[in-house]
A and B are shown apart, each in its own frame.
Chain A
Amino acid sequence: MPTAQASQSAKQETEPTAPAAANPGAGAFGRRMQAVGQSVARKEAPNKVTGRARYRGDVTPVGTLTACIVPSGHAHAQLVRVDVDSARRMPGVVAILTGEDTDLLCGEVLEDRPPLARGTVRYHGEPVALVIAHGEAEARAAARRVAIQYAALPLVATVEAAVASDAPLIHPALGTYTRAQPPVVPQAHTNIADHAKVRRGNPTEGWAASDVVVAGHYSVPQVDHAAMETRSARVEILHDGRVIVQSTTQAPFEVQKLLAKSFQLQQGQVIVDVPLVGGAFGGKAAVQLEVLAYLASRAVGGRPVQVVNSREEDMATSPVGIGLVADVKLGATRDGQLQVADLTFLLDTGAYTDSTPRVARAICSECTGPYRVEHVRCDAYTVYTNHTYATAFRGFGHFPLTFAIERTMDRLAQALGMDPVALRRKNLIGPGDQTPTRMVLTRSTLGDPQACLDRAATLLGGPAAEATGSHTVRARGLALFWKTSSSPPNAISGAVVTFNQDGSVNLSTGTVEVGAGTKTTSAQIVAEQLGIDVEQVHIHTHINTKVDPEHWKTVASMSTFMAGRAVMEAAEDAKAQLKSVAAIALKCAPGDLSVAQGRVFLTADPNIYVTFSDVAHGYSYPGGDAVGGQIIGRGSYIMRHLTLLDEATGEGHPGPSFTVGAQGVEIDLDRRTWRYRVVRAVTVVDAGRVINPAGARAMLQGGMCMGIGLATREGVLYDRDGQRLNSQLRSYKVMRAGEQPDAYGVEFVETPQIDAPFGARALGEHGLLAMPAAVAAAVSHAIGQPVDHLPITPESLWQLSRTAAAQ
């Protein structure tokens, strides 16, 4: 047994590094890092390259029943009759549920969505019935026998049609719906589920002061998350009252709360277990299949039932990403100083709201882009259509917002005859300025947009457009983004640190590993704080709501910040406890001690120490008697000083800080065929502090690739009857190998966010935010006409050229 005496005689090979300060940002300033700032391979990587990484669908106990959704064949219709008799008689069928079996209404913000359509179907693919059978084959075979009679209702096919005064109503009962999570401002007897707004300054003054006014109309279609793993959930209701849920969710604690609330359960009865998740991109934050699986299990005496989306269901029945139509008008002085912004956004939330009102407020919060604008009027409407219902998509509304703003900035530059980079530089928001919701910025909360812009412009280089042949042109485009979390003001996170007998560390957090490497980042932070190797930190790859501390949701790129803060505090707490036990062993005051390299040592003489192993489970004297006990480090974090946006003015504090960045692309375009290719893409982002350089670069590049896909090809399509046309990966096209740029350039600016772990800013969503705007800018330069609608396909450019030729 090691003792202080024995340790003293041990040869000390290396001097431990100085102890970390309690200040979370301290690491950013000067101290040499051991784990933070290193490209540590993700913890679960060896399992992911051997097929041994387990996802939800990889473990299905024998005896699990399968429930299969019967989707609506109509986009808007009355359900005249749902005949399940013949399906019920099919072999293997245990039960069939329809909308008549539950009067529950679901909705994160506004409770407007029946889990199974009742009376009316509002989108093509909406669940009408749920067939529960012993196996998938039986369930699917029987599902085809469910006969549904419809009486067609008039279709609301676009947001513009939806807000027309004579539009058919999709939710006649809108005024009666429960507001689960205000703010939400439904307009009864319309298709407007919510109206969020910003009123800042005096636009009349702004227009008066403007020499130049430009306006643009933009559209971005609904898009699909297309995570490679489709959504699924499995629920078992035990006789002791526990409800065991396994799900692909990004929001296990939200699932827990929602099931408890919907079915009058104690929250502790609901246990949500989430293994590795095969990509999410916001689409798995919406709670849908968990409710269906619960209803199914309840209908069959609590037996385990799973609902596993086919790709077609994942695209057409589960929520897609929000579409957006924007009208943006900017006013500026002759020398290019922005005066006023007037913005109207119609968000296509499809048949139900889900999180769209929150996205609308996120758009409001950053509606001007990262520019200083004194006078702002912004209206963001959450609009019902007979489209697939929509939810958050990576970036939480910011890629369409950025597209609309940045296209208008390019218009303004052209109207002023000014270089687009110079116009942006002149108007960049900075410390001391106010955001549209009147949050006063600091260098810590904002970062350094100018450094990002200047570096990206340098990296991109070259003129806006240059001929490379008789009909070929190379062009460049650049755009800026900014984003804050727009999380609830009371969003929380937690962490627990325990020790193994050998002194290694166990870390428990409430974040889900969706591919972002959040568990590894947390392990790096613990390793750094305790001065141990990352290998010595053991993580839970699953999360389980019963044993892991609550983390709001694994969304909004907030894991490093929120979980990171909790993890730092847990590590500090463990450290303090280690010191107090070690102080007894080493006969000194806790204040005399430091912690590093798995040891607690006298700061004045590192040769006098005990190891974690000596003290983490109580310190034993040579006689066997012991003091101390098991050390359990706990940490928690709650958002500080955030406020909800005011309903009348939008005033409020939407997030702890911003991430700003600049992105650019270079394209080669053929003016004969109107085909083009993105050949180079650059991103310069203020990361605050890069905790895992290779991981951060990979994450950003992945986002850039997705962003190019959104710019060039992605978009949900409906026919004239509102039927989904592309609910397969064969028809909903995403990027494939060879379509990516030849070169990606990713660089980091590091302006620490003082209250973030080691200064690190959010990065997870940001790679894609300005890519569509940058691609549109480059294409506009190449063809000499503004490109304002996504996706930018060769045909869309050919159509533009024809329109121009006709004028």
Chain B
Amino acid sequence: MIPVDFSYWRPDTAEEAVATYQQLADGGQHPVYYAGGTEIVTRSRLGQLSCGAVIDVKAIGEARCLGRDGGRWHVGAALSLAELIHDGSWPLLARVAERIADHTTRSHITLGGNLAGTIAYREAALPFWLADADVTTVGRGGRRTARFADRFDGALALEPGELLLALSVPEGVLQQPSYAQKATRLDYVDYPLVTLAALHGAEGRLSVAWSGLKPAPTRSAELDAALMGPGSAADRARRAARHLPPTLAQDLHGTADYRRFVATNMLADALSALEAR
């Protein structure tokens, strides 16, 4: 039960969505883009969000694109996690996504919602952050495609009214060796204590990205570099772990110290798994 009502808009095109947003915002309606709705519905029920209008973006064709084109793999932001997992083109994305929420809820949550919503973990961002991803948005200034890494630093830097439409990665990335692991306090269905995603890049470079540690996504070039040195997987994991952020989240999922312990183990697991191939 959402106590406070709002208007509902379902544009058919990205431009229509942006124009609608602008018009509603100018009218003081506090609009929000609405995709899977899991955050908007629950936060509205609790009074943590009050919006005068929701703009449902699921009818925008571009936001539901999925497939290869021009040497890149494109994925629309309004696709549900369940659809991405079912598609399976990018194993790393599928592996990360299939540990977000639960099976039924993954039919609700969209890629865009996970990346641009308010819940900090944004685990679906990790694969895109590691790959040479592009992100396409549409805003007042029209369409804009940029490197994902330039616009994402734990959260996606979107301007007011700017709508996340789609992401793409070079086709080659889809086949690159990768690894993902999620640790929770205990339960299979839970927010991450620590989630790690690792990708073995084209030049044999290994990079990892985290969720849960801060708890928003983080990564570190120094940590990636330390993974490449000499020594056993456990040794390198310990060395690399020195480059984990100095302060980690401390909450009901676990203490900062425990997160560090779990993350260190995870690094060793990732190295062993990737090097065993």
Q: Quick check: A672 and B186 within 8 Å, CB to CB?
A: no
Q: Is A536 close to B, CB under 8 A? A: no
Q: Quick check: A712 and B261 within 8 Å, CB to CB?
A: no
Provide the residues of chain B in CB contact with A136, threshold 8 Å.
1, 3
Query: Could you tell me the dominant secondary structure of chain B's interface residues?
Result: loop
Q: Quick check: A795 and B1 within 8 Å, CB to CB?
A: no
User: Chain A, 143-170, contact with B by CB distance < 8 Å: what is the 0/1 string?
Assistant: 0100000000000000000000000000
A441 to B186, CA, bound (A): 43
A798 to B193, CA, bound (A): 14
A793 to B186, CA, bound (A): 7
Q: Quick check: A798 and B186 within 8 Å, CB to CB?
A: no
Q: Quick check: B185 and A795 within 8 Å, CB to CB?
A: yes
Q: Quick check: A733 and B186 within 8 Å, CB to CB?
A: yes
Q: Quick check: A144 and B252 within 8 Å, CB to CB?
A: no
- Tell me the smallest distance from the CB of A792 to a CB of chain B, in Å: 9
Q: Is A713 close to B, CB under 8 A? A: yes
What size tier do the contact residues of chain A reach?
Answer: 20 to 34
A793 to B187, CA, bound (A): 10
A123 to B4, CA, bound (A): 28
A312 to B189, CA, bound (A): 19
Q: Quick check: B1 and A137 within 8 Å, CB to CB?
A: yes
A144 to B3, CA, bound (A): 10
Q: Is A238 close to B, CB under 8 A? A: no
- Tell me the smallest distance from the CB of B204 to a CB of chain A, in Å: 28
Provide the residues of chain B in CB contact with A673, threshold 8 Å.
262, 265
- Tell me the smallest distance from the CB of B34 to a CB of chain A, in Å: 19
A136 to B188, CA, bound (A): 34
Q: Quick check: A739 and B47 within 8 Å, CB to CB?
A: no
Residue of A with least CB distance to B255: A795
Q: Is B258 close to A, CB under 8 A? A: yes
Q: Is A725 close to B, CB under 8 A? A: yes
Q: Is B41 close to A, CB under 8 A? A: no
A312 to B5, CA, bound (A): 21
A736 to B186, CA, bound (A): 11
Q: Quick check: A312 and B46 within 8 Å, CB to CB?
A: yes
Interface set, chain B 1-50, CB cutoff 8 A to A: 1-5, 46-47
A140 to B44, CA, bound (A): 11
Q: Is B254 close to A, CB under 8 A? A: yes
Q: Interface residue count for B (Cβ, 8 Å)? A: 20
Provide the residues of chain A in CB contact with B2, threshold 8 Å.
137
Q: Is B190 close to A, CB under 8 A? A: yes
User: Chain A, 711-741, contact with B by CB distance < 8 Å: what is the 0/1 string?
Assistant: 0110001000000011000010100101100
Q: Quick check: B252 and A794 within 8 Å, CB to CB?
A: no
Provide the residues of chain B in CB contact with A798, threshold 8 Å.
258, 261
Provide the residues of chain A in CB contact with B3, threshold 8 Å.
136-141, 144
Residue of A with least CB distance to B265: A673
- Tell me the smallest distance from the CB of A370 to a CB of chain B, in Å: 31
Provide the residues of chain A in CB contact with B254, threshold 8 Å.
795
Provide the residues of chain B in CB contact with A141, threshold 8 Å.
3-4
Q: Quick check: A733 and B187 within 8 Å, CB to CB?
A: yes
Q: Quick check: A739 and B255 within 8 Å, CB to CB?
A: no
Q: Quick check: A794 and B186 within 8 Å, CB to CB?
A: yes
Residue of B with least CB distance to A133: B3
Provide the residues of chain A in CB contact with B258, threshold 8 Å.
795, 798-799
Q: Quick check: A713 and B187 within 8 Å, CB to CB?
A: yes
Interface set, chain A 60-113, CB cutoff 8 A to B: none
A793 to B185, CA, bound (A): 7
A312 to B261, CA, bound (A): 33
- Tell me the smallest distance from the CB of B39 to a CB of chain A, in Å: 12
Q: Quick check: B1 and A738 within 8 Å, CB to CB?
A: no
Q: Quick check: A713 and B186 within 8 Å, CB to CB?
A: yes
Interface set, chain B 224-277, CB cutoff 8 A to A: 252, 254-255, 258, 261-262, 265
Q: Quick check: A736 and B1 within 8 Å, CB to CB?
A: no
Q: Quick check: B252 and A712 within 8 Å, CB to CB?
A: no
Please pick, from B187, B252, B255, B261, the residue contacting A736 in the complex, using a CB distance under 8 A.
Answer: B187
A798 to B265, CA, bound (A): 13
A794 to B184, CA, bound (A): 10
Add 11 more A-B contacts to A141-B4, A733-B187 (CB < 8 A).
A136-B3, A137-B1, A144-B47, A712-B186, A713-B186, A736-B189, A738-B188, A793-B186, A795-B185, A795-B255, A799-B258
The 10 listed contacts between A and B (C-beta, < 8 Å) are A137-B1, A138-B3, A141-B3, A312-B46, A675-B186, A717-B252, A726-B252, A736-B188, A739-B188, A798-B258
